[in-house]
Amino acid sequence: MEKKRKIIHIDMDAFYASIEMRDNPKWRDKPLVIARDPRHSGGKGVVATANYIARSYGVHSAMAAAEALEKCPDAVFKTPDFPKYRKISAEIHTIFHEYTDIVEPIAFDEAYLDVTVNKKNIVDPVVLAHKLQWELFEKTHLTSSAGVSYNKFLAKLASDYHKPIGLTVVHQADVSDFLLPLPIEKFRGVGKKTVLKMHALNIYTGADLIKKSEAELIANFGKIGYFFYQCVRGIDERPVEWQRERKSIGNERTYDQVLTTIEEVDDFLNWAAKKLAGTLQERKLHGKTLVIKVRNSDFETITKRLTQNDFFKNDTEILVYYGKQLFEQIQSTNINVRLLGLTMTGLAPMADEDKQLSLWG
């Protein structure tokens, strides 16, 4: 049975664009696109985000800036100022931590909070979410949307339900009303490829999905089929991961020029794996969990991890091999990388037996 947790997903509204509108009042009633102006960049550049006026013209994040200009010729283009956004992101996270330390950051402007027990001793998570949104606004003059529920999947769907300045609650009793009419592409883990497969199986909404048996979903989708089976029933036991990396060693690299080929990713993996294997060997450590971190040009960060029963060998080739497998789980086509990281966690000293022997010796 699902334990009754209180989870909030907070998502700032059009974060980068809202910051720029806050700081430049002249842009407040104009369509604003956060991207390099394609007229000055030889048509290059990708939309990081757009304000709601620009969105009404069909502009959205990850769209080519040139296409955004076509859709909205009057748009103001503002080159992103990531150092500024990072600073404001830190301010927001400081406010989160006044409520709870169980905060899992998902992006600059997005986080899960587990407020089952919280520093303000507020019992009702809706009251807490409202207070938090108000405080975020008072301190940063930026608006946010919140989703409140008893797991991460539902909280995230809820925060997206009424944007901007939304506060949506999904109670256990309302799960069916909420999930059954939902288009299948809104379900977690349903990407572009999976959506086609779902449609081929005549699954267009939650109501179609819930009719499928567990066995049928697993037969069609593998392990993740079980996940879909649970999701549509409002079950998601994932904890809010607030202490991701307890003990870890790794390296990351940020790229000014976004990587677009698998060869460039291979170059990183070879460099990072060699360094990682070397450092682990030097410190006489080995680990059981390999983690890859990928951030795209839209500043979305995704990590994937692989945990083995036995320790990974501190061997460059092996780490490259598994690193690549993890990477392909995140981006198999349309490579778009601004930052890459390769980390080993679940560390332990090597050759315990040897140490004990020398102890006795």
Nearer of residues 17 and 320 to Mg ion, judged by Cβ: 17
268: which residues sit within 8 A by CB, 6+ positions away? Answer: 253, 259, 340, 342
Convert residues 12-31 into a mask of x (bound to Mg ion by CB under 5 A) and - (unbound): x--x----------------
Q: How many positions of this chain bind Mg ion (CB under 5 A)? A: 4
Nearer of residues 85 and 268 to Mg ion, judged by Cβ: 85
Pick the catalytic residue from 110, 135, 237, 245: 110
The Cα 153–Cα 155 span in angstroms is 6
Q: What is the DSSP letter of 63?
A: S
Min separation Cβ 96 and Mg ion, Å? 14
Pairing of strands 285-295, 301-307: antiparallel
Cis-peptide into 80, omega within 30 deg: no
Min separation Cβ 161 and Mg ion, Å? 14
Pairing of strands 144-149, 110-114: unpaired
Q: Which of 50, 88, 103, 109 binds Mg ion (CB under 5 A)?
A: 109
11 binds Mg ion, rule: CB under 5 A = yes
Nearer of residues 70 and 160 to Mg ion, judged by Cβ: 160
Nearer of residues 153 and 299 to Mg ion, judged by Cβ: 299
Binding-site residue ranges for Mg(2+)? 11, 109
CA atoms within 13 A on the CB side of 357: 4
Min separation Cβ 108 and Mg ion, Å? 8
98 tagged catalytic: no
Q: What is the DSSP letter of 64?
A: B
Q: What share of the chain is helix, strand, coil (3-state, %, to 5)?
A: 40, 20, 35
Min separation Cβ 163 and Mg ion, Å? 8
Q: Which are the catalytic amino acids?
A: 110
Binding site for Mg ion (CB under 5 A): 11-12, 15, 109
